[in-house]
Amino acid sequence: MAERTNRDKKIPLHTGIIMDGNGRWALSRGMPRALGHKAGMEALEKTVDNAHSLGIRYLSLYAFSTENWKRVPVEIEALMGLFRLYLKNKIEKLHSRGARIRFVGKLEAFAPDILEGVRYAEEYTGGNTEIDIIICVNYGGRQEIVDAVNRLMVDPPGGPVTEELLRSRLYAPDIPDPDLLIRTGGEFRMSNFWLWEGAYSEYYFTDTYWPDFGMKELERALESYAGRERRYGAA
């Protein structure tokens, strides 16, 4: 693993990011929203490198929510085009950096060629251990919990339902809960992201739009996290 640049600080094992503000970034510059999403994809690539260099082991990225289908068709088409571009052009680089790529969400909603690219990326990088990149697409925290309950109904446990049992039916039960959740773009809500898993996460909000989120912003978030005492409900 790459050497950490801040060994004297606490590094979250799992950091999750809501990558918000692409459209507003573009509109503030007089550009179409689609160009904001393109800039956001470039920021995603840089953030993966930055997270790896800082020693973050799991990085989850909220790329497309279940609610995002409500956007205008031309914007959805642009997002799907960027998704295809990412699967085609970025997986080899991530693999060379020892990244394991995982996709979480209701993946069956995507076109067959996208699903093929998703399966290839997961299989191709499945043996890597430097950093896990969890890309949440067509993901919603409420839907994840509903799906977990439905799985329990199909395969009843024969006893009381516990937190551990329900967790085992979530989309990715082997991934540790996020220690730190970051939201860019100036909004102060979690927008249905990691509702179960984020119960005891620390939160960090920044006004910076996602395309401008770089190493300095990530380091500020980690510095804020390092200065907190996590008590998990204890006094």
Supply the residues annotated as catalytic.
20, 68
Nearest CA among 102, 103, 172 for reference residue 144: 172
- Euclidean distance between CA atoms 56 and 52, whole angstroms: 6
| Main-chain phi, psi angles of 15, to 5 degrees | -115, 130
| Main-chain phi, psi angles of 127, to 5 degrees | -95, 0
Buried b (16+ CB within 10 A) or exposed e, 198-217: beebbebbbebbbbbbeeeb
